[in-house]
């Protein structure tokens, strides 16, 4: 009789019995205690040894609080060691997840309530449809492509959990960045620092050293007003950031999206969580209002756990092609490309024709495979965050920030059929200036640090290992931002004509039963994860199908699947 089990690895049909005999088998059975006793008796009959040990395991059956019991029986030796019934049984070699993990099959037996006739039949039969596992599914589940699909699904579930995870935020050192050349922001900065230092005595605030030169800031009067030690207000510059990686616990920006991009440019490796207050013009990345800074900062600093969006950045490496040298072994010219700069961009890389009157001729590769040759004013390689910037203006698509993708958007292409494309983040792109190009090209990284590219020069683009974490203001902040800034899919609803009714008909309309029945506030919705038998539905049937006891076994199976 074939039993439900969770094992790993080696086909039992192999002739090497030593490997099988050393395997430890775990039996996981679910059901009532009486059913488990029946399973135990059948299990012990397959083995001639260690029955007393199995009985001790049977006595340790524990109830899970949901009317079900769980029994785990372990044997250091193969229960089929002296049995010939091994033709259709499959085993999996146990491994840790880190060492070439190949998957684990878990077959759960569903123990349902049987009537007395069914139980009597089960006792007299060696196998029934309820107790016998589906061997064909077991065989299929160990095939490599099934394992591959199962692992891919597990990674997607893990990515979903990471996306919804809240991280601890123990703040001691706060860095504040403000938009330059705006005097009004200096006074807002003073208000923010006064409130932070007065409410949180353990905090140290760091501001840019350029602010010290501004007479409106007046750090000495600020210290005397809040009566705090001068050491709690310090200054930072780019050199300090390079020498103290991972020093800051939180970055607060006062400005627009440009201020956030500036923070990305000065943190080229690890970035602390960024909290952005909207004091600019548009603000796709600035989802906090400064007038509510006391409430928002109190919530974030007191709760210690925040939800952050790990925004993808691009790692861009610029290679310059040097003059060739002769290889004495082959007699051929050898061209060497040297790395001249590296950038991690939050929005986009732009390669365009610059001041040249000629159209650019750019070759786009993926892992040394030519994708296309772009004859256009340029190319935009953007992140999902940058999809609302230059790429959107050039006709690119909006991409949700949590999607790991790279968007390629041409700038005024010579052919109208060269449309934007979204590629997975696993690609390794290369934009190369063609040897046939009539002019040079220019590259810009988030609109800064422009570099001239000559024929043969190229830029490699891949997903950066250093994400840009922004503190989430609400779960739908991206949709709110494009609604607010772009009026995305905004249209006026059809107006009601009730204003043309007489007073008598207005009163009748207000009390119309059909209108009240169609109102959303008078409706409720319930979702069932199964098909309903029959055509008529009443409230008793709905309550019965929503009974949590009916779902306990399904939840138990789901938990077992996730743990595997």
DSSP H/E element including 302: helix 293-303
499 within 8 A of 491, measured Cβ to Cβ: no
Q: Could you give the CA distance from residue 387 to residue 347 in angstroms, rounded to a whole number?
A: 7
Cβ atoms of 41 and 34 within 8 Å: the answer is: no
- Residue 166 in contact with residue 178, Cβ under 8 Å? no
Q: b/e map of 229-259 (b: 16 or more CB within 10 Å)?
A: eeebbeebeeeebeeeeeebbbbbbbbbbbb
State the sign of the Cα–Cα–Cα–Cα dihedral 397, 398, 403, 406: positive
Residue 556 Ramachandran class (φ > 0 left, ψ -120 to 50 alpha, else beta): alpha
3-state secondary structure of 506: helix
Report which of 316, 262, 317 is spatially closest to residue 285, judged by C-alpha positions: 262
Active-site choice (8, 35, 89, 257): 257
Separation of alpha carbons 472 and 466, rounded Å? 18
The question of whether 257 is a catalytic residue gets the answer: yes
- Three-state DSSP at 283 gives coil
Whether the Cβ atoms of residue 325 and residue 333 lie closer than 8 Å to each other = yes
Residues 6+ apart with CB under 8 A from 157: 562
The two beta strands, 369-382 and 325-326, are unpaired
Known catalytic residues are 257
């Amino acid at each position: 009789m074939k039993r439900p089990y969770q094992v790993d690895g080696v086909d039992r049909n192999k002739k090497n019995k030593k490997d099988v005999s050393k395997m430890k088998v775990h039996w996981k059975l679910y059901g009532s205690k009486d059913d488990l006793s029946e399973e135990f008796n059948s299990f012990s009959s397959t083995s001639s040894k260690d029955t007393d040990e199995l009985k001790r395991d049977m006595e340790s059956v524990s109830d899970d609080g949901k009317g079900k019991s769980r029994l785990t029986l372990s044997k250091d030796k193969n229960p089929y060691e002296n049995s010939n019934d091994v033709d259709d049984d499959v085993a999996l070699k146990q491994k840790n997840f880190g060492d070439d993990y190949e998957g684990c099959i878990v077959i759960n037996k569903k123990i349902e309530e049987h009537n007395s006739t069914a139980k009597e039949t089960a006792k007299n039969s060696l196998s029934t449809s309820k107790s016998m596992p589906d061997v064909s599914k077991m065989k299929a589940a160990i095939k490599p492509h099934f394992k591959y699909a199962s692992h891919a699904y597990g990674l997607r579930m893990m990515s979903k959990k990471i996306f919804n995870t809240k991280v601890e935020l123990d703040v001691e050192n706060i860095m504040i960045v403000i938009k330059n050349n705006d005097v009004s922001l200096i006074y807002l900065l003073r208000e923010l620092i006064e409130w932070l230092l007065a409410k949180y005595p353990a905090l140290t605030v760091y501001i840019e050293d350029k602010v010290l030169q501004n007479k409106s800031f007046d750090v000495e009067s600020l210290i005397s007003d809040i009566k705090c030690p001068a050491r709690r207000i310090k200054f930072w510059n780019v050199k300090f950031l390079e020498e103290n990686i991972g020093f800051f616990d939180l970055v607060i920006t006062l400005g627009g999206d440009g201020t956030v991009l500036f923070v990305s440019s000065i943190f080229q490796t690890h970035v602390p969580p960024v909290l952005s207050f909207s004091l600019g013009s548009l603000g796709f990345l600035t989802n906090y209002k400064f007038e509510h800074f006391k409430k928002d900062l109190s919530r974030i600093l007191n709760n210690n756990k925040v939800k952050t969006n790990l925004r993808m950045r691009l790692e861009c490496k610029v290679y310059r092609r040097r003059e060739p040298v002769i290889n004495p072994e082959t007699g051929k010219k050898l061209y060497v490309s040297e790395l001249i700069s590296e950038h991690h961009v939050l929005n986009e890389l732009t390669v365009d024709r610059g001041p040249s009157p000629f159209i650019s001729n750019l070759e786009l590769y993926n892992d040394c495979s030519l994708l296309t040759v772009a004859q256009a004013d340029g190319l935009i390689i953007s992140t999902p965050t940058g999809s609302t910037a230059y790429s959107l203006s050039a006709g690119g698509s909006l991409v949700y920030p949590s999607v790991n993708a790279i968007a390629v958007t041409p700038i005024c292409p010579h052919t109208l059929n060269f449309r934007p494309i979204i590629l997975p983040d696993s690609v390794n792109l290369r934009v190369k200036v063609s040897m046939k190009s009539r002019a040079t090209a220019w590259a810009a990284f988030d609109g800064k640090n422009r570099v001239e590219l000559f024929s043969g020069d190229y830029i490699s683009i891949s997903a950066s290992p250093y994400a840009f974490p922004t503190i989430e203001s609400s779960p739908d902040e991206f949709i709110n931002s494009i609604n607010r800034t772009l009026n995305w899919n905004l249209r006026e609803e059809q107006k009601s004509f009730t204003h043309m009714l007489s007073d008598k008909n207005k009163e009748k309309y207000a009390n119309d039963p059909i209108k009240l029945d169609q109102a959303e506030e008078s409706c409720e919705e319930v979702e069932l994860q199964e098909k309903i038998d029959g055509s008529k539905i009443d409230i008793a049937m709905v309550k019965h199908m929503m009974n949590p006891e009916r779902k306990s076994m399904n939840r138990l199976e789901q938990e077992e699947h996730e743990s595997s």
